[in-house]
Structure 1
Amino acid sequence: MRDNRLPEPAELHAHVSRAHPLDWGDLPTREEIAAQYGADAADGALALLAEAARAEPRVTADVTGSIDDDAFAYHLKNRLKSPQSLARKLKKENRLGPPYTPPEDILRYTVGVDHPDQVVRTARQLVDRMRARGWSMASAHHSYQPGSRYKGLHFFLRGHGQVVELQVHSRQSIAVKEATTRWYEVFRDRDRPKAEKDEALDKCIKYSDPMTQPAGIDALTHLGGVPVEVRGYGRTPARSPRATEGSAAGQDNDQRQEPHRRRNHHGRDEIDR
């Protein structure tokens, strides 16, 4: 039975959009989400989003206030996962309740820099400034490995009752990520033929391989006091021996920190990796 205390997606969107625009595409009703993913997933998504929405103004203020002058917030309008995407994830990962187990990408932020050599320095500055605001580090990983279809630096922090994902990307890595999204969609589609998926993976790797290795990334073994896990998203996914240390949820789970999905302005899902 529906919990009538839960807000509708349109109410949540209006609340979160007051300070900064939020892009959830076309806004479905709770009933429409329930029809597609089930009532438990719909109610779980709305309950978790309502909780995140209460913290969002403080979280966003902390993140944007921690960004250095030579960096920028990228696609801030995608900072809060859409109810459709979250309901799908809750159902797929069997995170149904109540109580509901929140994924750690409900609130997520991307910080951009002009040059790859700014990536590590900017990440350290962000972490230091967030910790000075009372946040604590949960986990960190990067995927700047040969043969990886995707390369990025991600870290997760706890604060205001939330686990929040931050990514740092150069303009180069942002461009590659956006260029390879269409092939990644094919690669992750379980209904596609294996040959087609393999071809899409090869294209992602081909575009990612020439990327400039950020200065200091290979020596980045710790960030904010937690180990930095090294991942490779190639034909044989790889994880460093540090994989089980410093996990945000205390679990060694490939799915939790895989590239995430966002909604574009047409209401369709995009890959947020």
Structure 2
Amino acid sequence: MAFQSRTQRTFLTMFIVCICSCALGGVVILLTDLRGMFIERTLVTLAAIGGSSLLALGAAIPTELRRWHPLGPGALGVICVTLAVSLVSIWVSYQYWPDDLEKFMGTGWLWSVELTVTGLLSLARLHARWNWVRTTTVVLLAIAGLQITATLWMDIHQGDDWFRLMSILLILGLCGVLVTPVLHHLSRTRLREDVRTTNLTLSLTCPRCQKTQEMAVGRSKCAGCGLKFDIDIEEETCRKCGYSLFQIQSSLCPECGTPIFSPPRSAEAGSPAPLPPGASG
């Protein structure tokens, strides 16, 4: 997948730099036996920023494509707040922590992942008969997230049944997360098979010898007199992904969601062009 926007490339660069720095710091510690609170806090800070950058990258994609808006901006907001709380917990001594800081931080990371994954699921272009898989996945993950949040904040302990239900929801939700990209690929394959809307041969009459014959698209020549032809067929396609817009009724590309700029109504077949000012019909 190509990261085209500057925002996406920035988050990706931050993730790579932080993770590489964290790994390099760990290697240095192992080789030199350096110890200290400052070094440990620095490594944990790099890991937190790297993880937040990865989540922000995942949230930026549906944000810029405006998929299920405003889910993406909401995820970015939660990620930023969670990172700030995490940095406070890393650099401020435990005895100075505000009340419920751990619960707030755990809830923030939970919903940062939840909202980012949901935003990425919105990118899937599924066949109509498979949309229920994504919808069910989102609902299961949301219920599991609410269960975990209630467990953290309300100290709910309902015995084994409570945690069994939570585990079942998480397992089914994760299965849906894994299956959705597969269904997206299958739907995409089907769509690309349907893109071919024209035959690759044409019946033409040679202007030199008047011989009627079938000619292939591209470079060919008359079987009678040898006159060469260069036949090029071009149909309207999406300017972003190249999907054929033949007989598309929607204002958005069904493949990537890019707005389709339809020709003015006056230019459509059967509609008279507007007369210039001062002209009479």
Q: Same fold (TM over 0.5)?
A: no
Instruction: Give the TM-score of the pair, scaled to structure 2.
Output: 0.26
Question: When you count helix as a share of all residues, which structure comes out higher?
Answer: 2
Q: Highest relative contact order (Cα 8 Å, sep 6+), 1 or 2?
A: 1
Instruction: Give the structure-1-normalised TM-score.
Output: 0.26
Bigger radius of gyration: 2
Q: Which protein is richer in strand relative to its size?
A: 1
